[in-house]
Structure 1
Amino acid sequence: MRSYAARHQDDPRSLLLIDPGHVRTVLGGPGATPTVPGVVDAITAHAGEPGLRFLDYRGETVPR
């Protein structure tokens, strides 16, 4: 994704990579945190901001 972003520096679209965390699914089990609302909030908060970001489900930047 970083390579794509570097090749398309003038692209005004938001490029987001999202770490959803431990998702509550059949495989994730009942003890997992419900992260979908946080993922939606992170996407909504950064919509329209150009450039690449790697965020977690809380909207915080994931270190490289």
Structure 2
Amino acid sequence: MGRTLLLMGPGWVRTELGGSGAELSVDESVPGVADTIERHRGKGGLHFGDHLGQVVPW
């Protein structure tokens, strides 16, 4: 199987960059990012998605 390249959007996260008005805390975003990475393990190819595992049109 080929390599997997996963480009991810973590959502709008309350950080210095995202600002205090962002929808998600880091604690809310990270589990979704980790789950999405795990679901794509070994699939190969290029995937572009968000922290919920939804495909983001490229």
Interval of TM-score (by shorter of Structure 1 and Structure 2): 0.7 to 0.9
**1:32 equivalent in alignment to 2:23:** yes
> Higher Cα Rg: structure 1 or 2?
1
Q: How many residues align?
A: 54
Identical counterparts, % of pairs? 48
User: Which stretch has the larger CA shift, 52-61 or 20-29?
Assistant: 20-29
Q: Which runs of 4+ in 1 moved over 6 A?
A: none
Q: TM-score, normalised by structure 2?
A: 0.77
CA shift for structure 1 position 36 = 1.0
Judging changes above 3 Å, is the alpha-carbon distance between structure 1 residues 51 and 37 closer, same or farther for their aligned structure 2 residues? same
CA RMSD of aligned residues (A): 1.8
User: Which stretch has the larger CA shift, 19-28 or 50-59?
Assistant: 19-28
Q: TM-score, normalised by structure 1?
A: 0.71
**1:14 equivalent in alignment to 2:14:** no
5+ long unaligned stretches in structure 2: none
